[in-house]
Structure 1
Amino acid sequence: MIERVDQHAALVKRIAHHLMMRLPPNIEVDDLIQVGMLGLMEAAQHYDEQQGVLFETFASQRIRGAMLDELRGQDWLPRQVRKQLKEVEQAMHKLEHQLGRAATENEIARHMGLPLEDLQKTIDDGRGHQLIYLDDFGDDDDHHLLDVLLPDTEANPHLLLEKQHFRQVLVNAIKALPEREQLLMGLYYEQELNLKEIGEVLSVSESRVSQLHTQAISRLRSHLTDWIADKQTN
């Protein structure tokens, strides 16, 4: 058991650093690693070669699960930051309709009457921004569309990802991203590179990678505005 833990300690660090781009700045990578090591030890204790699964595959699930369990329930993104990001998304949405293409950072900042540095600060603060929130579908009385469309046990925004129409809308939104942001999303979600590795590919800092990722998520959310509005009226 101890030997397996020693051999796969680097796996914990790799998973932790990969998750960090989807988490807000107040989350410390060392805390994730500590929790992940507990998941690794649990995996080493319960691993059974007879099941025909590679230990690394088995351990990865336990490590990631331990980290997500620790994070679950935390307030990842303050409401004020969410509100500011919503304003950025609205500006993106309006400009895209006007320009027929994705707006640049300078164009977004100018449209919002902000210095570029203030826009980038808002995006920096929004690390951990998600593609879909339950309250995207809520009204002023805090009733959610998902509570009507799905059984209570399935009132989960992630289940929407299984809907074919939504997937097509999302694919189209990704194709409309600026080329560098498309590349970043592929490197992160398909190649599973971390911040440092993506930064080396794009020749930018880790903080800039994180910023570009949040910006890409905001662009995707702005693309989904019409789809969400349509779901609320149907």
Structure 2
Amino acid sequence: MEYPNQMTKQESKKLFIEYKKTGDKEIRDRLIENFLYIPKLLVKKYAYRSNDVEDIYQVACLGLMYAVERYDPDRGFEFDTFASPTIIGEIKKYYRDKQWIIRVPRRIQELNREINRAKTTLEHKLMKTPTISEIADYLEVTEEAVIEAMEGNNVFYPKSLSTEFESNADGQEATLLDLIGEEDERIENIGNVEDLRQRLESLNPVERMIIEERYYNGKTQKEVAAIIGKSQMTVSRLEKKVMEKLRANL
């Protein structure tokens, strides 16, 4: 395939021979520029999503650079025949190693690929979807390892929060968002509540009564003053003092 301003095969071969002798980076860059059409063609084939194109093109260009550096014109292969597998390998490596949403150990990535191949084989052999136990026996690994690797697969293929599941008893569709648990503030505050309880026990009876009536029973300062036989100003002053003490301790 010829492109405008592209070197002839004889010209590029001459440059490759010169680059092999000298290692001149300017010659390498000229060769890379000359063969940029190869990454462009492969990106169209191997970019799975539109927003992958730029990243995959960069990876493919890196593969092209590796190919230029490793190519030996004396072996008789055409450069594009030599370069394509190198570039494709870099693209596949990118998808294998770089596209996981959360980085997982390589052993889990590799086991996950083995599981996918085993599932296909066993489905044809058993004429049904294989169980975890059957996959584990086939691969000669533990069931726990299979489960761990299959859970790791969700990192590469994350589910949308709007993913719908089977209808519940009320006939309503449940989404993943509906099933995700929320933080329970009561649990988060257990430690604070216990600390507060201990601080309240350290107060004298009048101070404890003021806090309990004001913040647990919802009474006004005037109502509390009537209960303990003090003035509203005294209740206000004591309440402020106690609250400052509690905040400082917590």
Relative to the length of structure 1, the TM-score reads: 0.33
TM-score (ref. length: structure 2): 0.31
| Higher relative contact order structure (alpha carbons within 8 Å, sequence separation ≥ 6) | 1
